[in-house]
Amino acid sequence: MKKKGFTLIELLVVIAVLAVLAAGVIVAINPGKRIRQANDAKIKNDIGQLATGLQAYY
Protein backbone atom coordinates (compact mmCIF):
# COMPACT_ATOMS: atom_id res chain seq x y z
CA MET A 1 0.00 0.00 0.00
CA LYS A 2 1.46 3.33 -1.08
CA LYS A 3 0.91 6.27 1.27
CA LYS A 4 -0.09 9.58 -0.20
CA GLY A 5 1.13 12.91 1.15
CA PHE A 6 4.25 14.91 1.74
CA THR A 7 7.21 13.97 3.89
CA LEU A 8 8.44 16.17 6.68
CA ILE A 9 11.57 17.03 4.70
CA GLU A 10 9.53 18.19 1.71
CA LEU A 11 7.38 20.42 3.91
CA LEU A 12 10.44 21.91 5.62
CA VAL A 13 12.07 22.65 2.26
CA VAL A 14 8.94 24.44 1.02
CA ILE A 15 8.69 26.48 4.23
CA ALA A 16 12.37 27.43 3.96
CA VAL A 17 11.97 28.54 0.34
CA LEU A 18 8.91 30.64 1.24
CA ALA A 19 10.80 32.22 4.14
CA VAL A 20 13.68 33.20 1.85
CA LEU A 21 11.26 34.70 -0.69
CA ALA A 22 9.40 36.62 2.02
CA ALA A 23 12.66 38.01 3.39
CA GLY A 24 13.65 39.16 -0.10
CA VAL A 25 10.34 40.94 -0.59
CA ILE A 26 10.60 42.69 2.78
CA VAL A 27 14.11 43.89 1.96
CA ALA A 28 12.99 45.04 -1.50
CA ILE A 29 10.10 47.20 -0.29
CA ASN A 30 12.07 48.62 2.68
CA PRO A 31 9.14 49.54 4.95
CA GLY A 32 11.23 51.85 7.14
CA LYS A 33 12.06 54.07 4.19
CA ARG A 34 8.42 54.15 3.06
CA ILE A 35 7.27 55.22 6.54
CA ARG A 36 9.86 58.01 6.65
CA GLN A 37 8.77 59.22 3.19
CA ALA A 38 5.14 59.28 4.30
CA ASN A 39 6.01 61.21 7.46
CA ASP A 40 8.10 63.71 5.48
CA ALA A 41 5.23 64.29 3.06
CA LYS A 42 2.82 64.88 5.95
CA ILE A 43 5.22 67.33 7.61
CA LYS A 44 5.68 69.27 4.36
CA ASN A 45 1.92 69.45 3.94
CA ASP A 46 1.45 70.66 7.52
CA ILE A 47 4.10 73.37 7.08
CA GLY A 48 2.39 74.51 3.88
CA GLN A 49 -0.93 74.76 5.71
CA LEU A 50 0.69 76.77 8.50
CA ALA A 51 2.22 79.15 5.97
CA THR A 52 -1.13 79.58 4.23
CA GLY A 53 -2.84 80.26 7.56
CA LEU A 54 -0.24 82.82 8.59
CA GLN A 55 -0.49 84.60 5.24
CA ALA A 56 -4.26 84.75 5.56
CA TYR A 57 -4.02 86.10 9.11
CA TYR A 58 -1.44 88.82 8.44
pTM value is 0.56
Per-residue confidence (pLDDT) for residue 25, from 0 to 100: 92
Decide if pLDDT at 31 tops 90: no
Please write the tens of the pLDDT for every residue from 7-16.
999 999 999 9
Burial of 56 per CB tally in 10 Å (0-12, 13-18, 19+): exposed
Euclidean distance between the first and the last CA atom of the chain, given in angstroms as a whole number: 89
User: Which DSSP helix (H) or strand (E) runs through 8?
Assistant: helix 8-29
